[in-house]
Amino acid sequence: MSPADRVAALFAETYGTQPTGVWSSPGRVNLIGEHTDYTGGFVMPLAIEERAYLAARPRSDRRIRAVASGRGLEEVDLDDVGPGRPKGWLAYLSGSAWVAEANAPDGARPGHGWDLALLSDVPVGAGLSSSAAITCATLLAMDELGGWQRPLAELARWGQQVENVVVGMPCGIMDQTASLLCTTGTVLFMDTESGAIEHVPWPASSDDAVLLVTNTNAPHVLADGQYADRRRQCEEATDVLGVPSLRSATLADLDSATARLTADQAACARHVITENARVLNVRALLEAGRISDVGPELTASHASLRDDFRVTVPQLDVSVAAALSAGAFGARMTGGGFGGCTIALVRREDIDDTAQAITAAFAVEAFTPPEHFVARPAQGGRRDL
């Protein structure tokens, strides 16, 4: 049975009726462009094959009921949803209904509840955007059943509002955009200032170069507070530099403002400025089919996230170092940091050796064993049934 059939069956079993439809949206890895999406910068994520599947049926009252495979049934009234409530996974589903109600075109306000069933194989807490996958699948369902036909880029902004307002996570726009707009075989280039996107093909000749993803299984410690802290440092640096966003700042601007910036503010700004330049380089290299040359840019990105932005943990650094020692073209942490995953650009024939080298390095450090999979650029959000 496909995952879409399975979530439809879970729905039917729970509510005694068929869902109106099933939608799904994927998790993502970010090739490059980390911590740039809330300062108007560039990002280059790709969707992964792991997805969240949502079966939905509108209700006539304002109750939201949701069942998730392995988690049982939870419910909340739409009128009880708001900033900080409810907590847990139900926040993403009911928060989507709440944001959709606030944003739906005039005259088309949903004003009703939902019966929902969720099944996701995106690893949770691994920095692979499992929450964006759930939220985007939910918004796709509500958009279609509400008949609003909003552009996907607008649904991505709604998804960001669910995180920012309901969940209280001050994230940027990358994950939701990746989940909804990525296409098979391509990496999504996005200018988060203008909203412009471009699908950059993963070079066909690069059958030999693949992205090995390693979930370090490192516990996320204080991740949300640290994320908000880095974001604030960037905003403070932006103010001191007197630029509209860090996107328009240069290293020369930074040099001339050093005396007015704290060391942390300067380091955060330096990461963002250099990272934006690396994203543009990577886009040009991919367009030129020079896939292996992308490697050093990935490795430089990791060093910048470790030394300037300070969002790595030992597991991420060890994973990257082990991949490089095993001969990877390049490697870096991906996602927000403080745990989560690394990506390594490796020759196809080196996948197993690289994975084993990372696992062995983790054993030496007595870290929890990591998990590995290969990321193939997959399709964004869609209706399945």
275 binds ligand GLA (CB under 6 A): no
The region of 168-176, 199-207, 279-287, 341-349 touching ligand GLA under the rule CB under 6 A is 168-176
Q: Considering beta carbons, is residue 20 or 226 the nearer one to ligand GLA?
A: 226
Q: Considering beta carbons, is residue 35 or 150 the nearer one to ligand GLA?
A: 35
The region of 60-68, 95-103, 171-179, 203-211 touching ligand GLA under the rule CB under 6 A is 171-179
26 binds ligand GLA (CB under 6 A): no
By CB under 6 A, name the one of 50, 115, 143, 175 that touches ligand GLA: 175
Residue 197's DSSP bridge partners are 190
Q: How many CB atoms lie within 10 A of CB 243?
A: 18
308 binds ligand GLA (CB under 6 A): no
41 binds ligand GLA (CB under 6 A): no
Catalytic hit among 115, 143, 175, 384: 175
- Shortest gap between Cβ of 36 and ligand GLA (angstroms)? 7
Return the residue matching tokens 């909203």: 195
- Shortest gap between Cβ of 292 and ligand GLA (angstroms)? 24
CB under 8 Å to 100, separation ≥6 — which residues?
A: 110, 139, 142, 143, 146, 158
By CB under 6 A, name the one of 15, 34, 114, 271 that touches ligand GLA: 34
Q: Considering beta carbons, is residue 51 or 57 the nearer one to ligand GLA?
A: 51
By CB under 6 A, name the one of 3, 26, 123, 172 that touches ligand GLA: 172
By CB under 6 A, name the one of 174, 212, 357, 378 that touches ligand GLA: 174
CA 238 vs CA 35, 61, 193, 292: distances in Å:
14, 46, 14, 34
CA 301 vs CA 45, 95, 306, 334: distances in Å:
14, 34, 9, 10
- Shortest gap between Cβ of 61 and ligand GLA (angstroms)? 33
**Does the annotation mark 121 as catalytic?**
no
- Shortest gap between Cβ of 35 and ligand GLA (angstroms)? 5
Residue 57's DSSP bridge partners are 115
What is 289-305 written as a DSSP string? T-GGGHHHHHHHHHHHH
**Distance between CA atoms of residues 21 and 53, nearest Å:** 10
The region of 29-37, 109-117, 181-189, 296-304 touching ligand GLA under the rule CB under 6 A is 29-37
User: Which H or E element spans position 48?
Assistant: strand 42-58
Number of residues lying near ligand GLA (CB under 6 A): 10
- Shortest gap between Cβ of 335 and ligand GLA (angstroms)? 5
SS3 20: coil
The type of residue at 41 is G
Q: Which residues, numbered 322-341, are part of the site for ligand GLA (CB under 6 A)?
A: 335-336
**Distance between CA atoms of residues 300 and 318, nearest Å:** 15
- Outline where the chain has alpha helix (H): 3-15, 90-103, 130-146, 152-161, 174-181, 223-241, 251-257, 263-287, 294-307, 314-325, 351-365
Q: Considering beta carbons, is residue 40 or 335 the nearer one to ligand GLA?
A: 335
Strands 21-32 and 63-68: unpaired
Query: Active-site residues: which are they?
Result: 175
Can you give the binding site for ligand GLA, defined by CB under 6 A? Answer: 34-35, 37-38, 171-172, 174-175, 335-336
